[in-house]
Structures are given as C-alpha cells and as structure tokens.
C-alpha cells in the first residue's frame, strides 16, 4: 500500500502524517490489518529495537476522588466496589515498588486519586520518592497526582522524580462530555508545568469512550504538539458502578489500529500499552508489542491485570526482550534534550498512563483504563495465575468476565501481582 510506505518513510524521519493519513489507518480493513501492523512495526523497531520497557503502578491513595471523570472507578459518585484507603506510608509504598522492580520493572509510577496535590501531599510523596531512591538508585520514578500548582513540579523534581504523568484522555471538543469538574486546558497546563520543571512528561489517551475516529486523531495530534516523551494508550475498562459501564465498543483489531496510528503520529515517543489491554486485545496482546515499546507489569490501580509471570512469558514468546535498568529507553535526540534531567537514567519514558485519573491521575490504569486500577485479570486467582477462558464466553462478544477489581497488593495484606 502506498499509504503505508509513505507512513513508514515519515516515521523514520520523525515527520508527522497528515490527518487524512491518520484517519485512513483507523479506517483500514481487517484484511489489511497485518500490513498496517508490519508497517508501524518498522517504525517502532527503528527507534526502539525489540526492547520492551516494564512499568509498575503503586496506588498511593485509592478512591474518594472529588472529580467526576466518567471513566473512573474512583470518581465522585462511583458505585464501583473498589479498594478505598488513604495515603500509604513511605515504607509501604517502597515495599510495593520493590515488588515491581523484582518482577522486572524499570520504572515505578506513584499514583494518587484526587483533583491535585496539596503542598503537604507533595511533601508526603517526596518522602516516598526519596525512600524508593534510597533503596534502589537505579529505579525511575514517575508521579501521577493530578493537576499541579505552581512550584509543585519543581519540588517533585528536587525530591528525585524522573517523570510526571497527566493524560489528555480525549479530544478537546469532547472533553466536557467526559468530565465537568476540570477542563482540557487544565490538563494541558499540568503537562506544560512538568516540561518546564525538567521532568519527563508522560501524557496519553483513553480509547473506547464512544469517541469518533476524528476525536482519536485530534487527541493524538494534540499529544504530538505537547511532545511528551511517553504516550500511554488506555483502552476503556467499563467498570460497573461508573457512567461508562455499558461502553463495550472495542475489538482487538480496532485496538491494534489505534496503537498503529499513535505510533505513526508519535514515532519516536515511548508508546505504552496501558489499561485495558487484557480486556480488549486479549490473545492479540503479543501482536501489539510490534507497535508499542512499553507495558505495565501486573495489576493496575483498582483492577487486576494479567499475571506478572505471564507478561514476561508473553514478551519472550513474541521475540522481544525486557529492557534493562542500564539501557536508555528513548532515542538519543530525546534522551539528551533534558541534559540529564531525568535522574540517573536519561531515558525519560515512563509515566502512569492509567485512566482512573479524574483530576488526580490523568490516566486510566485501572479505573476504566490503566491509571487507577482498571484492566482485566482473573478474579479467581488472588495470586495472579493464568486464567482459563470462561466456558460461556464468546469470542465475538465483549469479555466482561475479564474485568476484576483489585483485591491484592497496595492497601491490602496480600502479596502484589508482579
């Protein structure tokens, strides 16, 4: 296809596709899907080889958020039966982070529900960052705390944070349909504050909330303009008790096209498969690794993910390798532009990338996406075992049985899934 050859050439030159080209990727047929994946895979391998970066979420404070993000299980008025707890102590957060690192994670993402942190909250999170860095100086730390006030990003940077996540989630035109308690401009402002403080900016989207192809292209082009180092792509997990509980529109093929479009528009950014991959990509997850160079390991904020050992097996079986702590994630032109401002690693690629995030997280990893808890998993395995398909499940329909509320790890007495 001439279109795909053009997109590959542009991606290798870091040149943006046109809106029409991006829309054509989303409109491509299932018959052409493998060609689309192969083309986007060439761009992914050019900038990132066959490495896969592992990121691990620690939910510092779960539930009781005052924001009304429709996708989020921690939102104001949510009836989702998620874990609810106040701030973890630094030693608890450090123990949770250590479990993820032991499982292979290179970056730890510290997430807290809420509109945004108070100055006292920033002090609290700074103490946790220092404790994690004292335990293992090679670990990258990303904070995801919501809307930032002036000076807060700088304080997090001084404490040792490498990155800050705050997702745009959807297009500016439709943002008011998803959230009313803060604005799209508020989110853009927080990403810019992270940039200005020398933090690696992480910002992504949530697909599957009823948006159009035009909305998806709008938000990804807006992300390209903001120029984050990391772009998490969340797939809505419609959790019971939230306004979007009935939104089951995604197929594995559509998810792959969305990831391919994101790779073409953001060719040299760390593209992360975030919340919802187990629920919507399902057995096609290994194919998605040809498009994205980063994933979350184990569970999300409020939902269970695939077993940690299954993640590692999937990566190896697909012919990829886990990125080591000493390897630089980003291409040299990105890694060097902050002058080492990413801490011990010039890699700056991480981020929370979940979608529970009302004002607080800005992602969707588990609320309905990736941020606060929302991807799938097997509720019958508290230890994170591999799940057998439910006998009644049909491949052509939504796999609602894959959504399981997190009951282990942070905020519980059970071992985490890592």
The whole-angstrom separation of Cα 108 and Cα 99 is 10
What are the angstrom distances between the C-alpha of 118 and each of 86, 123, 144? 14, 9, 13
Q: Which of 44, 107, 124, 142 is catalytic?
A: 142
Sequence length of the chain is 418
Q: Does the active-site annotation cover 266?
A: no
Give 322's strand partners.
Answer: 52
Q: Which one from 69, 255, 352, 387 is the annotated catalytic residue?
A: 69
Active site residue 255: no
Find out whether 92 and 122 touch, Cβ atoms under 8 Å: no
Helices (H), 109-250: 119-135, 152-159, 175-178, 184-196, 213-226
Q: Answer yes or no: 202 catalytic.
A: yes
Return d(Cα 410, Cα 278) in angstroms, integer. Answer: 21
**Given 65, 255, 352, 378, the catalytic residue:** 65
Tokens encoding 406: 């997190």
What are the Cα distances from residue 361, in Å, to 94, 202, 305, 395? 19, 11, 18, 32
- 18, two tokens: 């046109």
Catalytic residue among 44, 75, 107, 109: 109
142 is catalytic: yes
- Active site residue: 75, 107, 263, 272, which one? 272
Can 272 be counted among the known catalytic residues?
yes
Q: How far apart are CA 294 and CA 232, in angstroms?
A: 8
Residues 6 or more apart whose Cβ sits within 8 Å of residue 48: 270, 293, 329, 331
Listed residue (322, 195, 321, 218) closest to 265, CA to CA: 218
Which residues partner with 55 through β-bridges? Answer: 107, 296
337 is catalytic: no
Cα–Cα distance, 131 to 127 (Å, whole number):
6
List the catalytic residue out of 144, 202, 266, 352: 202
Is 109 one of the catalytic residues?
yes
Residues serving a catalytic function are: 65, 69, 72, 109, 142, 202, 272
């Amino acid at each position: 296809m001439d279109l795909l050859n053009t997109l590959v050439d542009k991606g290798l030159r870091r040149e943006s596709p046109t809106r029409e080209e991006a829309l054509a990727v989303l409109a491509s047929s299932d018959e052409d899907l493998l060609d689309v994946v192969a083309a986007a895979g060439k761009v992914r391998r050019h900038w990132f080889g066959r490495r896969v970066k592992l990121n691990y979420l620690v939910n510092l404070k779960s539930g009781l958020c005052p924001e009304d993000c429709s996708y989020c299980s921690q939102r104001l008025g949510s009836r989702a039966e998620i874990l609810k707890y106040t701030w973890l102590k630094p030693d608890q957060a450090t123990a949770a982070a250590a479990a993820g690192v032991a499982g292979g994670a290179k970056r730890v993402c510290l997430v807290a529900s809420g509109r945004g942190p108070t100055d006292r909250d920033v002090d609290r999170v700074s103490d946790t960052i220092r404790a994690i860095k004292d335990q293992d100086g090679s670990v990258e730390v990303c904070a995801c705390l919501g809307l930032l006030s002036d000076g807060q990003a700088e304080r997090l940077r001084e404490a040792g944070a490498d990155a800050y996540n705050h997702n745009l989630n959807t297009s500016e035109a439709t943002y008011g349909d998803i959230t009313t308690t803060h604005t799209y401009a508020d989110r853009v402002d927080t990403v810019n504050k992270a940039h200005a403080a020398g933090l690696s900016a992480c910002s992504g989207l949530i697909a599957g909330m009823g948006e159009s192809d035009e909305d998806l292209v709008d938000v990804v082009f807006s992300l390209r303009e903001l120029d984050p180092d990391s772009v998490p792509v969340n797939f809505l997990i419609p959790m019971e008790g939230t306004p979007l509980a009935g939104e089951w529109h995604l197929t594995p093929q559509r998810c792959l096209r969305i990831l391919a479009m994101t790779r073409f528009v953001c060719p040299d950014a760390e593209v992360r498969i975030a919340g919802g991959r187990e629920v919507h990509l399902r057995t096609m997850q290994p194919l998605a690794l040809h498009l994205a160079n980063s994933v979350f390991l184990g569970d999300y904020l409020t939902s269970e993910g695939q077993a940690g050992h299954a993640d590692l097996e999937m990566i190896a079986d697909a012919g990829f390798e886990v990125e080591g702590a000493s390897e630089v994630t980003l291409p040299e032109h990105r890694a060097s532009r902050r002058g080492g401002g990413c801490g011990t690693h010039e890699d700056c690629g991480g981020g929370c990338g979940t979608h529970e995030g009302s004002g607080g997280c800005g992602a969707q990893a588990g609320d309905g996406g990736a941020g606060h808890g929302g991807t799938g998993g097997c509720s019958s395995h508290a230890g994170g075992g591999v799940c057998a398909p439910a006998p009644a499940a049909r491949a052509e329909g939504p796999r609602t049985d894959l959504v399981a509320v997190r009951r282990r790890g942070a905020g519980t007495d059970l071992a985490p899934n890592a």
